[in-house]
Amino acid sequence: MNLHFLSSSLFLFLLLSVFSSFISDSVFIKSETLVNGRNLLQKKKACPVNFEFMNYTIITSQCKGPKYPPKKCCSAFKEFACPYADQLNDLRNDCATTMFSYINLYGKYPPGLFANSCQEKGGLKCPGQK
């Protein structure tokens, strides 16, 4: 009788463990995925362009504070960034983040200066770009 009770309890315990694991895994998977199907933990590809040692004088010589004139700053930014527009507009890599980090590092610009002053719908628009 005691053995039957133990085996029933063990069976019930195992059944509940498997069932609760299934439920928690399902909840975890659903809460980790965005509406568009992109995984929150999905890592972006590394940028194929090395922005670390580029010459930022195009920007730093024309875009100066304390007022940072938007027309001059955006023109200089485009002159620097347009050769890399395809890579910068590709949301699957980290090129834009990397480039802005170096621009801010070398130019000591306030955070978001170019993102706020030089906004364009659909990414960076450059002359001669399709």
The structural domains of the chain, with segments of one domain joined by +, span 1-42, 57-117
pTM: 0.64
Contact indicator for 101, 115 with CB cutoff of 8 Å: no
**Residue numbers in the chain where pLDDT is lower than 50:** 2-36
Which amino acid type is present at position 89? Answer: N
Which pLDDT belongs to residue 122? 74
Which pLDDT belongs to residue 125? 85
Q: What distance lies between CA 54 and its chain's CA centroid?
A: 22
Which pLDDT belongs to residue 63? 96
What are the backbone angles phi and psi of residue 6, rounded to the nearest 5°? -65, -45
Tokens of 12: 């019930």
Which amino acid type is present at position 104? Answer: N
Tokens of 106: 């070398």
